[in-house]
Amino acid sequence: AMMTRRDAMLALAALALVLGGAIDLAAAADRDQLVQQAKQVLDENWNGRNTVPSHALYPFQWSWDSAFIAIGYSNYDRQRGFTELRSLFAAQWENGLVPHIVFNKNVSDKVYFPGANWWRSMDSPFAPRSVNTSGIINPPVHAVAVRRLVQASMRANGGSQDEAVAFLHSNVRGQTMYERVRMWHTFLKRERQYTAERNLLYARHPWETGRDNDLSWDRILKRIDIRPGELPPFNRTDNKDPKVNPADRPSQWFYDRAVYLLLQARNNSYNETAVRAVCPFLVEDVLFNAIWVHANRDMAAIAEMLGETDDQKMFLQWADETEQAMDAVMWDAQRGAFFGIDLTDNKRRFD
């Protein structure tokens, strides 16, 4: 998808504003009122371990939602931000994958589609046994959130690193928080490059990009020919909420293909090599890779603070390699924009 350099910055800024949730911008006369409304939304959606995006539409924990929410908490409640990220990484897979949904066993599986019974994450030998998750990912903004919390902690404590280091060294299911985020980055570098020399990450489902039903994906999804009866019947919940106009939700055509890709990954037990060999949706996305560059630079800064000099060099190298690859492969100087790469169509750029 086309994205100018300015568009990329605006997109990141817009994502940060999502923290406010259902805020009536027109009614917010000043910044203080806006901030109070944002805090109220976060407080109402806090369940003691994490913040759900919406009790009605999205009643579980979403991966990159939690990262942006943690950035919000860094401004006024660091401990809640620490807990938000630790709860997410407690559901990390053994291969390093951070799932885009962490389900809550106390919330009915029927309130959201596709629920845990559709993802069947435990079909993968790497998935945790104590909690159900999805089998796809979100853009890797988590290191950005971790660093924002670290910086906020140091500002609040007169430059002292003690609280920040305690968070980075805190135990998350047998490993430190720092080790968990490092595992996540290592997973992406190992499993989500089409070839090692490309130095670009790919998404294997539209929902992984953060731009779920972007029209840019239609030209790729049109290549998925679904035969009558090929998909099991399913009942969507996203278009049933009386507060949400069904016309504002994705089409059934899109959902059929989203479910097709879900089932294809599930039927391959979420083995990344096996899925990559058959998946008709493999996209090196501009925003995804731009976030990856930013996240690696933040991880390098965190590694430096902890004295992990080898890690620092590694993360800086990964950031530089991807930045150079984006300029070499995605940038169209004539049109003045970056374009995503469709790996299933001879690695062509696409709008």
Tell me the three-class secondary structure of 148-171, residue by residue: HHHHHHHHHCCCCCHHHHHHHCCE
The pTM of the full predicted model, rounded to 2 decimals, is 0.91
* Across 263-286, average pLDDT: 98
- Which band of pLDDT confidence, cut at 50, 70 and 90, is reported for residue 20? very low
Classified as helix, coil or strand, 303 is helix
| DSSP symbol at 244 | S
Length of the chain in terms of residues written = 351
User: How far, in Å, CA of 302 to CA of 126, rounded?
Assistant: 27
Query: Could you count the other beta carbons within 10 Å of the beta carbon of residue 90?
Result: 18
Instruction: Write out pLDDT tens, residues 88-144.
Output: 999 999 999 999 999 999 999 999 999 999 999 999 999 999 999 999 999 999 999
Structure tokens at 39: 């805090």
| Cis amide prior to 114 (ω within 30 degrees) | yes
Sheet holding 348-350, edge to edge: 283-284, 340-342, 348-350
CA-based torsion, 271, 298, 159, 152: positive or negative: negative
Instruction: Write out pLDDT tens, residues 172-200.
Output: 999 999 999 999 999 999 999 999 999 99
Bridge partners of 317, per DSSP, are none
